Amino acid sequence: MSEDNTPPRKKLVLKKPSGQNEQSPAGESQKPRLRSGARARNVALASFAESSTSADKTIKNKIQSRPLPRTAGYAKHRPSLADRLSRGAETIGQFPDTQKNTRKPAVVKGDSSYEASRNPRKEPRRQRTQYQHTEIFRVFAPCPQGLEDVLFEEISALGFENVEKGRAGCAFSSDWMGIMRANLYSRLATRILVQVSHAPIMTEDDIYELAYDTPWEQWFGAEHTLRVDTSAIKSPMKSLMFCNLKAKDGICDRLRDREGERPSIDTVRPDAKVHLFLSSDSATL
């Protein structure tokens, strides 16, 4: 027999990528299998049912742990008031956070502490002198021109005295309660103006003196806002704006001398409205 001189064949071996680890036969490091289709839907429904069942059990346990509601038979076995009070007194002091009721008593309206809590100020506000209900004031009720006769009958029907018909309004006398009644029931008067001062004038300086001599501190103070309006009939004054300024300065200077501060001016929503009326030889505030 002849010898076989054929060289041995080489075997080709495929190597794995360097970044890929060898997997164990048991599949310990294998990733979870991704499912799709109908089988994946069945698996998802099964996991959802399992989670909902555990949630229902948790809610049921919480409900069972709550105390049962009191029934009608609870009143028969309810402990007496003395036992409940003694039981509450025994628990006071057993826990570090348990303390007796140290709440401050309620502040009663009208007390000095109530006023201080409502208006915190460095100094207590000085009480202003209030007019008595029996004091008689001279009042003027303005109305549109042409309705003076009808307004005169209306004011007289309301029971006011010394009613006088004037130009674009009527004047009468009344106490403070009557002033509020006229302001409430009059349908023709556009406003109800209370006369606080009246004097003859010749120049603008007389307006300042009249405004300064009027006791405005009895009506409002420096903490309130102010507005001054001016109207005139046959007045020799050349500028109503300058007259308005002189009256405003007289009011503010008096409050500054009496209370140490001037009031602020607010033309939109003031706290106090002052009207200056000028005639041929007099001024009325």
Q: In whole angstroms, what is the distance from residue 203 CA to residue 246 CA?
A: 11
Mean pLDDT of 172-193: 89
pLDDT at 20: 55
Weakest-pLDDT range from 18-22, 79-83, 149-153: 18-22
Stated length of the chain: 285
202-to-20, 197, 237, 274, 280 alpha-carbon distances in Å: 112, 16, 9, 21, 9
237-282: per-residue pLDDT in tens? 888 899 999 999 999 999 998 888 888 888 888 888 999 999 888 8
221-247: per-residue pLDDT in tens? 888 889 999 888 888 888 889 999 999
pLDDT at 280: 86
95-142: per-residue pLDDT in tens? 555 445 555 555 555 555 555 555 544 444 455 555 555 788 899 999
Please identify which residue in the block is written with the tokens 């603008």: 204
**Model confidence at 10, in pLDDT bands (50, 70, 90)?**
confident
Scored b (16 or more CB within 10 A) or e, 56-85 reads: eeeeeeeeeeeeeeeeeeeeeeeeeeeeee
Looking at every residue in the chain, the average pLDDT score rounds to 76
Q: Which of 192, 194, 191, 211 is nearest to 283 (CA)?
A: 211
68-77: per-residue pLDDT in tens? 566 655 566 6
* 141 or 58, higher pLDDT: 141
User: Nearest 5°: phi and psi at 275?
Assistant: -115, 125
pLDDT at 48: 77
* 115 or 175, higher pLDDT: 175
* 208 or 61, higher pLDDT: 208
CB half-sphere exposure, 123, CA atoms < 13 A: 4
pLDDT at 123: 46
Q: In whole angstroms, what is the distance from residue 234 CA to residue 94 CA?
A: 88
Determine the angle formed by the axes of helices 204-213 and 240-259, rounding to 10 degrees: 30
DSSP the chain: -----PPPPPPP-PPPPTTPPPPPTT-TTPPPPP--SHHHHHHHHHHHHHHHHHHHHHHHHHHHHSPPPP-GGGGTSPPPHHHHHHHHHHHTTTSTT-----PPPPPPTTSHHHHHHHS--SSPPPPPPPPPTT--EEEEEE--TT-HHHHHHHHHHTT-EEEEEETTEEEEEE-HHHHHHHHHH-SS-S--EEE--EEE-SSHHHHHHHHHHS-GGGT--TTSEEEEEEEESS---S-HHHHHHHHHHHHHHHHHHHHSSPPEE-SSS-SEEEEEEE-SSEEE-
What is the share, in percent, of the chain residues with pLDDT greater than 90?
Answer: 12
pLDDT at 121: 47
- Sheet of 282-284, strand order: 198-200, 282-284, 272-278, 225-232, 264-265
What is the share, in percent, of the chain residues with pLDDT greater than 70?
Answer: 62
Q: Is the pLDDT of residue 216 over 70?
A: yes
Mean pLDDT of 214-222: 88
List of domains in the chain: 131-195 (3.30.70.250), 197-285 (3.30.2130.30)
Residues 6+ apart with CB under 8 A from 258: 217
Q: Is the pLDDT of residue 183 over 50?
A: yes
Q: Is the pLDDT of residue 86 over 80?
A: no
pLDDT at 122: 45
Q: In whole angstroms, what is the distance from residue 93 CA to residue 100 CA?
A: 9
pLDDT at 250: 92
Mean pLDDT of 201-210: 90
pLDDT at 23: 53
